[in-house]
Structure formats: structure tokens, C-alpha cells
Amino acid sequence: MYIDYTMTILNCTLLNFAHVGMLSPIFENYSNDFEYTTNGIFRRIVSPGCPKCGHRMNHNGYNEYCKKGLGSVKIGRYVCPICEELFEESRSFWEQLKTDFFTVLKCIYQRLRTQNVSYGGASLVMELIFPRGKDTIHNDFTNSVESAYIPPIEDIQIVHYDEQHPKMGRTQKFRLTLLDGVTSRPIADELYDNKSPETIKTFLKKHLDPTIQTFVVTDFYSSYPGVFGKFFGENLIHQLCLLHLNKLIVGDFPKHGTVEQELMKYRMLNIFYNRDAVGSPGTELEFAL
């Protein structure tokens, strides 16, 4: 028996009848010139014309394609009775199925890494789903992050906040500075008697609009997250500057580490390296914000 849709005809047996609902979406982009036979072969119902001589070809069995641990598919073959030209049906649906499956796996890797699960731990979890080694997970995760689409930033201001501690005679002063992250030009530069959270908040209120989403770059000072968070609320994106991020990375490794540790350290430092900013030899190296 078979079920006739306005797409590929699915020839069913009692064994695969229950899977019609799952099979039909796989072939929805194909016309009803195709069939999925009771033997599991995907092919055209009426053989195509020979691409070489134009004569009607004959069905000629199938080629089987397998993915270990995932499944296999039988793709119909044709042969011309006149010139013996061989032709195989497209298996694009099979390639798309594999792509969709491994895309889901990459999403799982990203969720696990977001929860600080190690690559080894992720590999142990994947043994319950689809076994993958930690090196494979690392490579797939890295590639998925690098190829991720990042929408362009719109309606957001980028500012750098910094402090200096000059002295006027014997009096300690504090210079609070705001720089435009795009033009690198000063937004404000003022002297205060202290750098308390209230002083910083007063300074920010004079020069920045808390209703605009703002990307603020600062150093390590512990009060900054709280001060800027209270001022901007949900409109704040807080980021440590590259110098201090690099210091954090370097500080996590021993001064006299192994070759493997040094390679890992420089791989992590390389995250912030902006290759697009590097031109011909002699061009000054720049780093991404």
C-alpha cells in the first residue's frame, strides 16, 4: 500500500507505516515524481532521460550512504540501455538531515559551555545522546562561535571610563574621564576631591543619558559594576578593557609553564586580536574593542 501526497509518494509497509508523519517532511521539497519505496530507496517513479543521449534510462538499484551512529540512506541509480551512461539521484535531503542534526549538537555544546561545562564533561554528556570526543566538541564549538551571525550594533553609545590620581600641591585629586569609544575623543574630563560612588554617579549624570543603551569599558575597580549598573539599569553593557582582560588571562597561567600551557595562553590572548585591522607588513597592530 502507499500514501499519495502532493509531494513524494511514500510506499509504506506495516513496518514503516508508523513513520509516515516523520518521513513526509523530509521529502516535502520534492514533487510527486519521486517515491520512497518499500525497500527504503529514494528515486524517481519514472526514470529520467539520459543526460548523454536523451533515451529513457532504467532503474539500476541504489547506492547506500551511511553515517556511523546516525543512519543510512539508499539513493536510486539509473542506467541508460543505449549508451550505458550511469546517473544517481540527488541526495541533498540526506545532506540536509545531517546538517540539521549536527547544528542541534552545536547548540547543545554552546549551552553546556555557557554553564561552564568542560569539553571533557560535555563529551561525557554526549555519550548519552550521540558520542563525541572532547576534541571534536572543542573544534565544533569554536567553528560555531566563529560563524555565528552578530547583528550590527544600532542606537548604542560606547564610552570608556577612566580615573587618574593627580596631586595639586599636597592635596590628592581625582580626574574622572569619559572617552567616546568610536572617535576616541574626550566626552568629559573633570577633577573631584574623591571618587566615591556618589561622585561618579554625579559625573555620569552630567554627561551621559541613562535611557540610551551604553557599552562601558572600565578597569578592574570593584565598585564599577554596581555604580554603572544603578545609573544605567538594563541599558548597561559592562566590559573590562583589553589590557586588563589580558592581565586576567596571563595571571591564570604560571610564569614558567609548560609548552602546552604557553600555547593555550596565547590562544586565549588571540581571542581579542583583530585580524581585519592588520594590513601590509609594518602596519601597526590593533586590537578589537
Domain contains 65: yes
Point out the least confidently predicted range of 6-15, 94-103, 211-220, 253-262: 6-15
Domain contains 289: no
pLDDT higher than 80, residue 42:
yes
Same domain, 73 and 108: no
User: Rounded to an integer, what distance in angstroms lies between the CA atom of residue 32 and that of residue 35?
Assistant: 7
Which grid coordinates belong to 151?
547583528
Domain contains 282: no
Mean pLDDT of the chain: 82
Answer yes or no: are the C-beta atoms of 188 and 177 closer than 8 Å: yes
Q: Which helix (H) or strand (E) holds 59?
A: strand 58-67
Please report the pLDDT score of residue 259 as a whole number.
85
Domain contains 69: yes
- Which structural domain, as residue segments, surrounds residue 113? 96-146
Same domain, 163 and 138: no
Domain harbouring 217, CATH code: 3.30.420.10
Same domain, 37 and 79: yes
Same domain, 178 and 190: yes
Domain contains 283: no
Q: What is the mean pLDDT of residues 218-239?
A: 90
Point out the least confidently predicted range of 32-41, 111-120, 198-207, 265-274: 265-274
Provide the β-strand partners of residue 287.
273
Same domain, 19 and 66: yes
Please report the pLDDT score of residue 20 as a whole number.
52
Please report the pLDDT score of residue 287 as a whole number.
39
Point out the least confidently predicted range of 20-24, 144-148, 149-153: 20-24
Same domain, 165 and 196: yes
* Distance spanning both ends of the chain, measured CA to CA: 63
Same domain, 12 and 68: yes
Please report the pLDDT score of residue 6 as a whole number.
40
* DSSP tag of 282: T
Please report the pLDDT score of residue 23 as a whole number.
60
Same domain, 181 and 230: yes
Domain contains 225: yes
pLDDT higher than 50, residue 282:
no
CA-atom Rg of the chain in angstroms: 31
Nearest partner of 9 among 20, 19, 92, 18, judged by Cα: 20
How many other C-beta atoms can be found within 10 angstroms of the C-beta atom of residue 271? Answer: 11
Same domain, 218 and 255: no
Domain contains 117: yes
Q: What is the mean pLDDT of residues 261-283?
A: 64
Same domain, 63 and 102: no
User: Rounded to an integer, what distance in angstroms lies between the CA atom of residue 177 and that of residue 190?
Assistant: 7
Please report the pLDDT score of residue 10 as a whole number.
47
Q: Which helix (H) or strand (E) holds 124?
A: helix 119-126
Same domain, 134 and 180: no
Please report the pLDDT score of residue 250 as a whole number.
85
Please report the pLDDT score of residue 153 as a whole number.
66
Share of the chain above pLDDT 70, in %: 83
Burial classification of residue 92, based on how many CB atoms lie within 10 Å of its CB (0-12 exposed, 13-18 middle, 19 or more buried):
exposed
Nearest partner of 171 among 194, 200, 148, judged by Cα: 194
Same domain, 186 and 223: yes
Under the banding of pLDDT at 50, 70 and 90, the label for residue 251 is confident
Helix axis angle for 119-126 and 134-146, nearest 10°, is 110
Q: What is the mean pLDDT of residues 202-210?
A: 94
Q: What is the mean pLDDT of residues 210-230?
A: 90
Point out the least confidently predicted range of 5-19, 121-135, 194-208, 228-242: 5-19
Of 31, 57, 84, the last residue of a domain is 84
Nearest partner of 26 among 108, 93, 124, 109, judged by Cα: 93
Under the banding of pLDDT at 50, 70 and 90, the label for residue 16 is very low
Please report the pLDDT score of residue 22 as a whole number.
61
Q: How many domains does the chain have?
A: 4
Q: What is the mean pLDDT of residues 169-173?
A: 87
* DSSP tag of 193: S
